[in-house]
Homo-oligomer: A and B are copies of this chain.
Amino acid sequence: MNNKDINIIKKTPLFSGMEEDEIEHMLGCLSAVGRNYRKNETILYPGDPINSIGMVISGRVLILKEDFWGNRNIINEALHGDVFAEGYACTQGVELGISAVAAEDSRVMFMEVRRVITTCSTACAYHVRLVRNLLSVLARKNLLMDEKLTHLTQRTTREKLLSYLSSESKRQVSASFEIPYNRQQLADYLSVDRSAMSSELSRMRDEGIISFEKNRFRLLI
Contact = CB atoms under 8 A, between A and B. Distances in A.
A67 interface: yes
B75 A166 contact: no
A215 interface: no
A90 interface: yes
A83 B209 CA distance: 37
A131 interface: yes
A78 to B, nearest CB: 13
Given A68-B166, A68-B219, A69-B166, A75 B149 contact: yes
Q: How many copies does the complex hold?
A: 2
Contacts of A30: none
Contacts of A134: 135
Nearest to A69: B166
Interface in A74-111: 75, 86-92, 94, 97-98
A7 to B, nearest CB: 25
A6 interface: no
Given A87-B143, A149-B152, A67 B162 contact: yes
A interface, over-half SS: helix
B68 A162 contact: yes
Q: Range of interface residues on chain A?
A: 35 or more
Contacts of A142: 86-87, 138, 141-142, 145
Contact of A170 (B68, B120, B163, B167): B68
Most chain B CB atoms below 10 A, which of A67, A87, A88, A131: A67
B75 A146 contact: yes
14 contacts: A65-B150, A68-B165, A75-B146, A75-B149, A90-B138, A90-B139, A94-B143, A117-B132, A121-B128, A122-B122, A122-B125, A131-B135, A138-B138, A148-B149
Given A92-B136, A131-B132, A155-B191, 16 more contacts: A67-B162, A67-B166, A68-B165, A69-B166, A87-B142, A87-B143, A90-B139, A91-B136, A91-B139, A91-B140, A121-B128, A122-B125, A138-B139, A142-B145, A148-B149, A149-B152
